[in-house]
């Protein structure tokens, strides 16, 4: 049992109340919110005096397998970035380097206030990521990615039946092994996936009631390649395959036609907006103001560390708000709406808004304390303005996930930060050594995407 | 004397060397850089083991007088933002509220790694800002702003001759009172300044060899208003008045014609790019990649806290790099170039690149230690990628300006953070009380800009 006292609770409840109150956690749930709650004898007490207490932040698109690649693949466009850097790097993973990548990524995201993620793995070894997700205490959805078109999967090509069998094995071993771990079926993107693979993925998803997670319409060349192969727009193609459901999550969704937008909204498919990644890979800016107006479920995500290069959810909230003003004028996506995307928006996209996304009695206890004593924040009374425009993930002091205290007073409570960092640096050096040309990644090579335009 | 040891020095010297070395400061200057420098008896020793040591970051456009207004004026377009919020708020300043605003702003900027600023004040009381600039140890250029067109200056209107006399008085009292304090002549923007005022400002600038600092071409309505009044584009108008010199700094410069760009480049006028502010006020994105290709002097700035709402120079470096990729493709403005804008670029715009902007023996000691142990940064070897894409101003631990240690191990060495914050909150409450409608700023009113186009 834990009592967080003296908090300014930014509840995100139905009335969007901001309360000066205490919050009690018991058996992983929020059991009481009120003024002057009386501490109990055996209860852990944490003062949040002068701090914001917020719902845990949700990032509905990331790649833990890429955390080690941070800073190794800057200044490239999506398809070059994948072929020349990311795929060869993913291919070079061993169990240990993948473990290091997942550990430091999970530690980073939790320390910065993230309590739930939707993760796409590489094509193999994904049990390692589940092991670390379990150890870290993260609320985790994820799975190995699927890629079965030889010409467009580079070194990550995997035969379809073998791939789907691997999914089935991971589902058996990991899906709901604990209440925090859920498997997500993850065809990488339409460019690398055959129709048959997509149908096999869909079958698995339906059989087990899973989330479906894929990239779509991130990049104009990607859209053109799908159009060339299938005659259809990217999301239209997914729709024809039956993939657009209320349990599917599309990462990016930048270049959508009006009818694709309508299809996504009608089927209540989720879209994860990743503004830093989209700028860095020069992909475009998703017009999420329009999407939200039409009733789309929209979440935020940092994407992987190799294309961002920062997994701070506060950066994504801020950038999401700023970029929409550029597209739709200065009143677009005010701070409260950006904050909603990172909390309830994420919960809706992951179909768990009945469980998390707001500080409400009865919900699971995903709770974050954010200090507000930095001079950048200290004079701002509006909590949404303070959190979205002026705060940093570096201001997070404490994080609970499902009632478990995973970050305590700025330090990770489960991982030893120095050991995790040293392990990551060692495994990164080993991984780079495994690539034939050593540290010089310009030597990496992978087959050209056949369908890549220009 | 100070010896910073065991540093990874990101020198920004001519060869852009990154050195594992020690750095010695004496009499405000960098006097030695080398391996294994032997500590002297009376020398302060600071270990920078595992940290980056970088040139102090330069922000060539801000408004310290607006720091208290952070979060009070969100989600507005420039001209509304000025008329409805900022001008009435500036007008409500007393000496004490202005002092509070300057103190917390200087403390914030220094704690986040900023060592030099170009500041535009409000129309009065600017001696208070000079007093705090002196106390804080900031390398400071600034001055009261000038506004003499009644119909377009709202409550900040000041009669021309009186205004220019006030400038002359501040120049006598403050310009080069210490080597770190310089007066900058600051007509606010062409909309609020008569030709006569501009000529008077120019005369003062030339007489005393000062910097000239103004806003121009930030907003399309602003450009249209100047065109309507003068028949000229905004910068073309400044050029005709003779204001475009190598000692002038234009904040924003977003909407420039090719001939205006050429004029700015030819005259070696500086432009300060403020990407967060420009997005937040929906002003546009300055195509600084093109400007730099043509040889323009470009600096970065956070602008004031009321339109950003964060004065972290690391945010501006990151956003500058990301936004240019959106405009010009993924290889535009790589990390090293964004870092240059915040160091040497700022120094060139402020005409002090012979003094600061790089870690070179003989230059003044504006030096910053940046921790790199956060999991967001800890595995990145490329210092520019680490600093621009993955670091935060929250990672700054120590700051020297002109050899003076103003931030020590994360805490401000001159200001008491808790006292400054309490003072700021108290003065903010008083200032809001002085506005007739109390905290409800929607009650603020100011005359409509006559020349404002729909």
DSSP A404: E
Pairing verdict, β A396-401 and A404-408: antiparallel
The CA–CA distances, whole Å, from B88 to A97, A425, B85, B218, B320 equal 58, 53, 6, 21, 31
Residue A44 pLDDT > 60:
yes
**Nearest neighbour of A381 by CB, restricted to B71, B330, B386:** B71
Is residue A73 less than 8 Å (CB to CB) from chain B? no
Is residue A325 less than 8 Å (CB to CB) from chain B? yes
DSSP B73: S
Is residue B322 less than 8 Å (CB to CB) from chain A? yes
Residue A373 φ/ψ, nearest 5 degrees: -100, -5
CB atoms A281 and B325 under 8 Å: yes
Longest dimension (CA), chain B: 68
Provide the CA B384 distance to its chain's centre, in angstroms.
21
Which residues on B lie below 8 Å from A81 (Cβ)? 330
Q: Are B336 and B16 in contact (CB under 8 A)?
A: yes
CB atoms B374 and A394 under 8 Å: yes
Is residue B426 less than 8 Å (CB to CB) from chain A? no
- The C-alpha atoms of residue A97 and residue A93 are separated, in whole angstroms, by 6
Nearest C-alpha of chain B: how many angstroms from A159?
33
Ranges for all domains in chain A classified under CATH 2.30.40.10:
2-55+365-412
Q: Are B254 and B279 in contact (CB under 8 A)?
A: no
**Nearest neighbour of B425 by CB, restricted to A285, A379, A395:** A379
Provide the CA B269 distance to its chain's centre, in angstroms.
16
Q: Are A294 and A261 in contact (CB under 8 A)?
A: yes
Q: Are B54 and B357 in contact (CB under 8 A)?
A: no
**Nearest by Cα to B12 from B233, B335, B298:** B335
The CA–CA distances, whole Å, from A376 to A53, A369, A371 equal 18, 17, 11
Q: Are B123 and B156 in contact (CB under 8 A)?
A: yes
Is residue A219 less than 8 Å (CB to CB) from chain B? no
- The C-alpha atoms of residue B77 and residue B453 are separated, in whole angstroms, by 13
* Beta pairing partners, A298: A271
Provide the CA B276 distance to its chain's centre, in angstroms.
13
Neighbouring CB atoms inside 10 A of B442's CB total 8
H or E segment at A120?
strand A114-120
Residue B437 is predicted with a pLDDT of: 56
Which residues on A lie below 8 Å from B310 (Cβ)? 318, 376, 389-390
Is residue B430 less than 8 Å (CB to CB) from chain A? no
**List of residues 6+ apart from B344 with CB closer than 8 A:** B12, B55, B353, B357, B358
Q: Are A30 and A23 in contact (CB under 8 A)?
A: yes
Ranges for all domains in chain B classified under CATH 3.20.20.140:
57-349
Give chain B's end-to-end CA distance (angstroms, integer): 59
State the average pLDDT for chain A: 95
- The C-alpha atoms of residue B380 and residue B378 are separated, in whole angstroms, by 6
**Nearest neighbour of B379 by CB, restricted to A68, A81, A382:** A68
CA nearest to A381 within chain B: B71
ipTM of the complex: 0.95
Provide the CA A248 distance to its chain's centre, in angstroms.
14
pLDDT in tens, A298-344: 999 999 999 999 999 999 999 999 999 999 999 999 999 999 999 99
Nearest C-alpha of chain A: how many angstroms from B52?
16
Residue B266 is predicted with a pLDDT of: 98
Pairing verdict, β B51-55 and B2-10: parallel
- The C-alpha atoms of residue A140 and residue A124 are separated, in whole angstroms, by 18
Cα atoms found within 13 Å of the Cα of residue B444, Cβ hemisphere only:
28
* Beta pairing partners, B399: B368, B407
CA nearest to A386 within chain B: B71
CB atoms A310 and B390 under 8 Å: yes
Is residue B394 less than 8 Å (CB to CB) from chain A? yes
Is residue A49 less than 8 Å (CB to CB) from chain B? no
A-B contacts (CB, under 8 Å): 182
- The C-alpha atoms of residue B293 and residue A444 are separated, in whole angstroms, by 31
CATH number for the segment(s) A2-55+365-412: 2.30.40.10
- The C-alpha atoms of residue B276 and residue B418 are separated, in whole angstroms, by 27
Percent of chain A with pLDDT over 90: 93
Residue A148 is predicted with a pLDDT of: 97
- The C-alpha atoms of residue A60 and residue A117 are separated, in whole angstroms, by 5
Q: Is B433 exposed, middle or buried (0-12, 13-18, 19+ CB in 10 A)?
A: exposed
- The C-alpha atoms of residue B397 and residue B149 are separated, in whole angstroms, by 45
Residue located via tokens 């012979």: B354
Is residue B337 less than 8 Å (CB to CB) from chain A? no
Residue A32 pLDDT > 70:
yes
Is residue B194 less than 8 Å (CB to CB) from chain A? no
Q: Is B117 exposed, middle or buried (0-12, 13-18, 19+ CB in 10 A)?
A: buried
Neighbouring CB atoms inside 10 A of A28's CB total 16
- The C-alpha atoms of residue B274 and residue B281 are separated, in whole angstroms, by 11
User: What number is the average pLDDT over the span B203-232?
Assistant: 97
User: What number is the average pLDDT over the span B124-135?
Assistant: 98
Longest dimension (CA), chain A: 69
User: For chain A, how many helices (H) and strands (E)?
Assistant: 16, 18
Angle of CA points B173, B134, B312, to nearest 5°: 130
State the average pLDDT for chain B: 95
Is residue A293 less than 8 Å (CB to CB) from chain B? no
Residue B447 is predicted with a pLDDT of: 36
* Residue of B275, B375, B407 to mutate, interface with A, max A Cβ within 10 Å: B375
* Beta pairing partners, A26: A29
User: What number is the average pLDDT over the span B355-361?
Assistant: 98
- The C-alpha atoms of residue A109 and residue A107 are separated, in whole angstroms, by 6
Of B42 and A142, more confident: A142
Which residues on B lie below 8 Å from A71 (Cβ)? 379-382, 385-386, 389-390
- The C-alpha atoms of residue A324 and residue A318 are separated, in whole angstroms, by 10
Q: Are A134 and A177 in contact (CB under 8 A)?
A: yes
CB atoms A373 and B312 under 8 Å: no
User: What number is the average pLDDT over the span A346-354?
Assistant: 98
Whether omega before B209 lies within 30 degrees of 0, making that bond cis, reads: no
Neighbouring CB atoms inside 10 A of A66's CB total 27
**Nearest neighbour of A280 by CB, restricted to B70, B284, B325:** B325
Residue A17 φ/ψ, nearest 5 degrees: -75, 140
Residue A447 pLDDT > 90:
no
Residue B436 is predicted with a pLDDT of: 64
Residue B444 pLDDT > 50:
no
pLDDT in tens, B306-333: 999 999 999 999 999 999 999 999 999 9
Residue A387 is predicted with a pLDDT of: 98
**List of residues 6+ apart from B266 with CB closer than 8 A:** none
- The C-alpha atoms of residue B99 and residue B102 are separated, in whole angstroms, by 5
The CA–CA distances, whole Å, from B60 to B19, B121, B271 equal 27, 13, 9
Cα atoms found within 13 Å of the Cα of residue B301, Cβ hemisphere only:
35
- The C-alpha atoms of residue A272 and residue A341 are separated, in whole angstroms, by 9
Is residue A323 less than 8 Å (CB to CB) from chain B? yes
DSSP A37: P
Residue B39 φ/ψ, nearest 5 degrees: -65, 145
User: What number is the average pLDDT over the span B114-134?
Assistant: 98
Residue A147 is predicted with a pLDDT of: 97
Which residues on B lie below 8 Å from A305 (Cβ)? 376
Residue B311 φ/ψ, nearest 5 degrees: -110, 35
Q: Are A53 and A9 in contact (CB under 8 A)?
A: yes
Name the token pair of B399. Answer: 């700051």
The CA–CA distances, whole Å, from B369 to B63, B81, B155, B361, B405 equal 25, 36, 43, 17, 11
pLDDT in tens, A68-97: 999 999 988 888 889 989 999 999 999 999
Percent of chain A with pLDDT over 70: 96
Residue A237 is predicted with a pLDDT of: 97
- The C-alpha atoms of residue B417 and residue B424 are separated, in whole angstroms, by 10
User: What number is the average pLDDT over the span B371-376?
Assistant: 97
Name the token pair of A43. Answer: 């209860």
Angle of CA points A415, A421, A426, to nearest 5°: 125
Cα atoms found within 13 Å of the Cα of residue B182, Cβ hemisphere only:
21
* Residue of B59, B74, B383 to mutate, interface with A, max A Cβ within 10 Å: B74
Is residue A75 less than 8 Å (CB to CB) from chain B? yes
**Nearest by Cα to B72 from B444, B418, B434:** B444
Residue B76 is predicted with a pLDDT of: 84
Question: What is the pTM assigned to this prediction?
Answer: 0.95
Which residues on B lie below 8 Å from A310 (Cβ)? 318, 376, 389-390
Which residues on B lie below 8 Å from A280 (Cβ)? 322, 325, 330, 389
Residue A453 is predicted with a pLDDT of: 34
- Architecture of the domain whose range is A57-349: Alpha-Beta Barrel (3.20)
- The C-alpha atoms of residue B438 and residue A319 are separated, in whole angstroms, by 32
**Nearest neighbour of B417 by CB, restricted to A104, A112, A375:** A375
Is residue B428 less than 8 Å (CB to CB) from chain A? yes
Give chain A's end-to-end CA distance (angstroms, integer): 60
CA nearest to A379 within chain B: B425
Q: Are B78 and B223 in contact (CB under 8 A)?
A: no
Q: Are A85 and A375 in contact (CB under 8 A)?
A: no
Q: Is A175 exposed, middle or buried (0-12, 13-18, 19+ CB in 10 A)?
A: middle
Which residues on B lie below 8 Å from A77 (Cβ)? 329-330
Nearest C-alpha of chain B: how many angstroms from A375?
5
pLDDT class of A444 with cuts at 50, 70, 90 = very low
CB atoms A421 and B376 under 8 Å: no
Name the token pair of B298. Answer: 């470009």
Is residue A382 less than 8 Å (CB to CB) from chain B? yes
Is residue A111 less than 8 Å (CB to CB) from chain B? yes
CATH class entry, domain B2-55+364-412: mainly beta
**Nearest neighbour of A107 by CB, restricted to B375, B393, B421:** B375
- The C-alpha atoms of residue B130 and residue B120 are separated, in whole angstroms, by 11
């Amino acid at each position: 049992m834990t009592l967080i006292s003296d908090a300014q609770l930014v509840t995100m409840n139905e009335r969007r109340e901001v309360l000066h109150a205490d919050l009690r956690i018991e058996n992983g749930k929020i059991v009481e919110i009120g003024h002057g709650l009386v501490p109990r004898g055996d209860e852990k007490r944490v003062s949040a005096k002068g701090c914001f207490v917020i719902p845990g932040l949700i990032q509905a698109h990331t790649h833990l397998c890429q955390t080690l690649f941070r800073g190794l693949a800057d200044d490239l466009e999506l398809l070059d970035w994948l072929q020349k850097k990311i795929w060869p790097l993913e291919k070079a993973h061993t169990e240990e380097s993948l473990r290091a990548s997942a550990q430091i990524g999970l530690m980073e995201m939790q320390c910065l206030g993230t309590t739930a993620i939707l993760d796409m793995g590489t094509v193999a070894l994904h049990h390692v990521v589940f092991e670390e997700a379990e150890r870290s205490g993260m609320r985790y959805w994820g799975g190995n990615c699927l890629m079965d078109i030889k010409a467009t999967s580079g070194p990550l090509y995997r035969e379809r039946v073998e791939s789907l069998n691997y999914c089935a094995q991971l589902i058996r071993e990991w899906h709901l092994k604990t209440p925090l771990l859920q498997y997500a079926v993850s065809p990488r993107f339409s460019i690398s996936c055959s129709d048959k693979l997509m149908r096999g993925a869909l079958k698995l998803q339906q059989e087990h009631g899973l989330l479906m997670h894929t990239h779509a319409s991130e990049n104009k060349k990607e859209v053109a390649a799908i159009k060339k192969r299938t005659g259809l727009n990217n999301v239209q193609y997914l729709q024809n395959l039956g993939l657009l459901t209320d349990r599917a999550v599309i990462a990016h969704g930048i270049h959508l036609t009006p009818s694709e937008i309508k299809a996504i909204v009608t089927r209540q498919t989720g879209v994860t907006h990743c503004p830093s990644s989209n700028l860095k890979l020069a992909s475009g800016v998703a017009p999420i103001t329009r999407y939200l107006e039409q009733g789309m479920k929209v979440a935020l995500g940092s994407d992987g560390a190799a294309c961002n290069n920062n997994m701070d959810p506060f950066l994504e909230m801020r950038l999401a708000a700023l970029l929409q003003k550029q597209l739709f004028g200065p009143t677009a996506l005010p701070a409260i709406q950006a904050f909603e995307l990172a909390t309830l928006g994420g919960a809706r996209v992951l179909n768990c808004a009945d469980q998390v996304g707001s500080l409400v009695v009865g919900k699971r206890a995903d709770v974050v304390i954010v200090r507000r004593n930095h001079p950048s924040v200290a004079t701002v009374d509006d909590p949404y303005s303070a959190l979205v425009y002026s705060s940093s993930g570096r201001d997070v002091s404490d994080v609970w996930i499902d009632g478990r205290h995973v970050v305590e007073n700025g330090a990770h409570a489960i991982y030893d930060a120095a050991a995790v960092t040293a392990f990551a640096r060692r495994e990164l050096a080993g991984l780079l050594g495994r690539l034939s040309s050593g540290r010089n990644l310009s030597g990496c090579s992978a087959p050209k995407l056949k369908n890549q335009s220009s």
